[in-house]
Amino acid sequence: MCGITGWIDWSRDLTQDSEQLERMTETMAPRGPDAAGTWISAHCGLGHRRLSVIDPENGAQPMIRRDGDRTCVVVYNGELYNAPELRAELESRGRSFTTNCDTEVLLISYMEWGKSCLERFNGIFAFAVWDSAEQHLFLARDRLGVKPLFFREGNGTFMFGSEPKAILAHADVPARIGAEGLAEIFIVGPARTPGQGVYQGLRELRPGQCLTVTREGNRLVTYWKLESRMHTDDVNATAARVRELLQDTVERQLVSDVPVCTLLSGGLDSSALTSLAVEYYQGTGQGNIHTYSVDYVDNDKHFKAHAFQPNADAPWITRMSEHLGTIHHNVHFDTPELVDALRAATLARDLPGMADVDASLLLFCREIKKGATVALSGEAADEIFGGYPWFHREEALNANTFPWSLAAGMRTDLLHPDIADWIKPQQYLADRYAEALDEVPHLAGEDAATQRMRIMSYLNITRFMPTLLDRKDRMSMAVGLEVRVPYCDHRLVDYVFNIPWEIKTAGSREKGILRQSLVGVLPDDVLWRKKSPYPKTHNPNYLDAVRGKLLDVLNDPSSPLLPLINVQKVREIAASTDASSNIPWFGQLMSGPQLFAYLWQTDLWLREYNVSIG
């Protein structure tokens, strides 16, 4: 993976200000530690930082190819998993190649098929192509939004970047937020509304969208979205098709010229990917695969099972690693490391995030990077197959809001009354929910219960899954690790979205059809294990540490957070004996300690980015 950025100004000669482009590009250095490059012309500049995965000796970017009088230049972040097939087809049409990298396949695909090349791609990507013949910049993002792409437009200029920091590095772009940005932080966050960049003027290209930037104006197009169709396969045929798609995408995503590993929690999703990877490695004679897991010092002493986290992972990790014969690495962190990493996690996101869930992932990825450059992860299976508890609870199904945002009232109470009056947080959340409902592609003839489960699937795929994909991208790329997510293969997502709920829950179990598709792949005890989410620390020392950090903020009259929050209410919560409550205020994992850490991250973000509010 890589970091990309760029800048268009139709009214000035950018060659006279190349240092600006260099600064924007340099912000992407952690995403691409192996090489850097820029390309600049009168009105367009492109920057790239490279993490070498395929054909490390070649494939430098920005990549330039010429066809007669036409010159095309690309910066690209991602992987095309069907690059060999595309290359063969292009060669049959007379195109030639000088490298073995998928960057060249992507660029020549664009030169051959234009914007319709997107329909042919299987992969995760965000890219921009300057086309001299058309005098336009063409940008696109993959169908599920695995790879990020932010942009800012106006007054004859256009800027883009893999992360907000690349755009904020431009001298003409202030770090400023208004009412919408504050609502995103305090009522939606750490999620984001699709397309919302939080900072004023900043937007994100939504999954499955492309954008053409011209002197006359910009044109945004949705080239892919979820569609509802009748599902005609029975349970057995459905399970077979799920198995076929999953196996194909895992094998495609194992292709790399650098070491590949898997993240193994001992749960259904990661165990399935690891098992299929081991099978492929054994079949191709590539030896044993390395696996990694994360946990926290003394978590075994402090763990208490509850509805959102029913059991610990450690015994199951050992079970799967021994069963498959992987070379396993247990990574443990203690409370001080986790607390210290909150700052780095905030800077990696350019926003407050998922507290210790972010911080631990960043530390975890840093350890993995010491032995591998590419990892496979089980992200997105719960959103796609309906694994989360809120798919199965009446109060969440009938809440008339996002099921991960059930504590909107409590979050509103934490705001300063003037801020609450200004941003109207609960109305903002209700409006975003209504917008999401309006997008759902309904199927004629569905009964109310079936329609509700389709709505839940759509909300999870388009609203919750991006939060976890953002987290995975920022934390992994902050240390130069590429993480691939096979469950986000668009063919698999498109197929599973239309599986009826009674088949998805075959055997009266969450993700029942996925379990049935993996019979014979996993041991029975792992196959039918109750879902447990990404581990968080249960050490009371973490609660004490983040509570102390937040109290330091509350006691600092210069804190930029104080005018935004109800200080007395926050103090009351910090002083309460149930501050470690397991009742989440966001998602499944963010409860009392994570609330304190999130508010502390918000204060840090306001200071570090010198954010102005208005």
DSSP 461: I
- CA 458, 464, 467, 470 dihedral sign is negative
Distance CA 381, CA 385 (A): 6
Q: CA separation (Å) from 150 to 32, 216, 258, 376, 605?
A: 17, 21, 28, 25, 19
Closest CA to 272 of 197, 144, 380, 394: 380
DSSP-based three-state secondary structure for 479: coil
Does 190 sit behind a cis peptide bond, omega within 30 degrees of 0 on the bond before it? yes
Q: Report which secondary-structure segment, H or E, holds 299.
A: helix 299-302
Does 533 sit behind a cis peptide bond, omega within 30 degrees of 0 on the bond before it? no
Distance CA 508, CA 502 (A): 8
Choosing from 2, 117, 261, 488, which is the catalytic residue? 2
328 contact partners, CB below 8 Å, separation of at least 6 = 264, 290, 291, 292, 293, 317, 321
Closest CA to 164 of 200, 188, 197: 197
- CA 223, 228, 230, 234 dihedral sign is positive
Annotated active-site residue 44? The verdict is no
Angle at 413 between CA 420 and CA 345, to 5 degrees: 85
- CA 52, 58, 64, 68 dihedral sign is negative
- CA 399, 404, 409, 410 dihedral sign is positive
Q: What is the CA radius of gyration of the chain?
A: 24
Instruction: Please give the positions annotated as active site.
Output: 2
